[in-house]
Amino acid sequence: MPNIRPISDLRNHFAEITRDAQSSKEPIFLTKNGSGAIVVMSMESYEEGRYQSYVYDKLREAEIQAMSSEKRLSHEEVMTSLRTQLKELEADSRA
């Protein structure tokens, strides 16, 4: 169930809101005059959400790219290519 509180609680109960946001890992919705105003969440939850969004965007990008091409690579081909790229990066960093 969402945690919904009046925005005045931010002023009067900041420490409690901070503790709740960090312990529950869920956003806290603050309202002003009965309407949604802002959302408070822990930094950990925010970063996790950003990471999930980034991964989703990359997967969607890969899907779109795959739809525009008939070329398919096997797992072995992908892993061989990645290992080669990693070796090249390691060699470049040593030079």
Quote the pLDDT of residue 95: 76
Total domains in the fold of the chain: 2
Mean pLDDT over each residue of the chain, to the nearest integer = 94
Residues 54, 83, single domain; the answer is yes
Residues 69, 84, single domain; the answer is yes
Residues 35, 56, single domain; the answer is no
Give the integer Cα–Cα distance in Å for 44 and 50.
10
Quote the pLDDT of residue 94: 87
Query: Does pLDDT of 1 surpass 90?
Result: no
Amino acid at 12: N
Give the integer Cα–Cα distance in Å for 41 and 2.
12
Residues 50, 18, single domain; the answer is no
| CB-based contact 22:42 (threshold 8 Å) | yes
30 three-state secondary structure: strand
Quote the pLDDT of residue 4: 95
Distance of CA 92 to the CA centre of its chain: 31
Residues 52, 90, single domain; the answer is yes
Residues 82, 65, single domain; the answer is yes
Question: β-strands 28-32, 35-40: how paired?
Answer: antiparallel
Structural domain boundaries enclosing 81: 45-94
Domain of 18: which CATH number? 3.40.1620.10
